[in-house]
């Protein structure tokens, strides 16, 4: 049996497999799906890939360590879920932190005076190229004009809730909250706070994974 014990450093790394052929199966407004015939470990296999634009998530904490959540309908699961403000990286060339600031304003009516990168993650790397950057936003203040009404349907009505960070962790661990942006972002914020916020990165920290996906054609750049 081939040795399956890893002896190198532990960390994700770029390793594009050879694509023998590729066909588009669906091209949508937000994402697309393609089927690749790819060579993996001496086998030629077909894999469907959802090409996603990527996204940002904002864990907004007030001075009392309460996290801001918005209640929003998610049609694929036919549920109303509580999530942090978030949005797609659908403006080509726009820095991720600028997108995050815009989405925080549009979904909650708040701005932040301090921004940091909290954590990066893949939403579903077995089938999707979606890469998500989670920002920590603090020193919050309400926009004088309130939340700009820029959305429709799911985004037309977004009730806000403020939940203490510790209580939000309890809601996640009990299964009450299940959105991946809430689970990853809130647990990361709790871990970072427990470490005195020493793990935070600058708001403009390099995002090498995003650069890799762009180079490899794994980012949906719109119509």
The residues assigned a catalytic role are 155
* Phi/psi of residue 187, nearest 5 degrees: -65, -35
Pair 122, 131: CB distance under 8 Å:
yes
- List the beta strands (DSSP E) in 91-200: 110-122, 131-142, 160-164
Residue whose token pair is 């360590």: 65
58/68 Cα distance (integer angstroms): 9
140: tokens are: 């919050």
Helix (H) or strand (E) holding 166: helix 165-173
Pair 182, 82: CB distance under 8 Å:
yes
212: tokens are: 């890799």
Burial of 24 (0-12, 13-18, 19+ CB in 10 A): exposed
What is the per-residue burial (b if ≥16 Cβ within 10 Å, else e) of 125-155? eeebbbbbbbbbbbebeeeeeebeeeeeeee
């Amino acid at each position: 049996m081939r040795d399956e014990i890893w002896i190198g450093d532990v960390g994700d790394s770029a390793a594009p497999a050879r694509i023998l052929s590729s066909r588009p199966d669906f091209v949508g407004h937000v994402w697309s799906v393609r089927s690749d015939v790819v060579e993996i470990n001496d086998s030629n296999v077909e894999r469907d890939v959802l090409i996603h634009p990527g996204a940002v998530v904002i864990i907004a904490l007030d001075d009392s360590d309460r996290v801001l959540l918005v209640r929003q309908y998610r049609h694929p699961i036919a549920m109303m879920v509580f999530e942090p403000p978030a949005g797609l990286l659908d403006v080509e060339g726009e820095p991720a932190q600028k997108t995050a600031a815009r989405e925080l304003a549009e979904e909650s009516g708040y701005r932040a005076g301090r921004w940091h990168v909290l954590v990066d993650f893949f939403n579903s790397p077995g089938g999707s190229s979606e890469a998500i950057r989670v920002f920590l936003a603090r020193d919050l203040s309400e926009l004088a004009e309130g939340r700009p009404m820029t959305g429709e349907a799911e985004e037309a009505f977004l009730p806000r809730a403020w939940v203490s960070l510790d209580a939000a962790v309890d809601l996640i661990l009990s299964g009450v909250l299940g959105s991946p942006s809430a689970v990853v972002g809130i647990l990361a914020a709790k871990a970072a706070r427990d470490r005195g916020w020493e793990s935070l990165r600058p708001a403009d920290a390099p995002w090498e994974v995003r650069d890799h996906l762009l180079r490899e054609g794994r980012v949906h750049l719109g119509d």
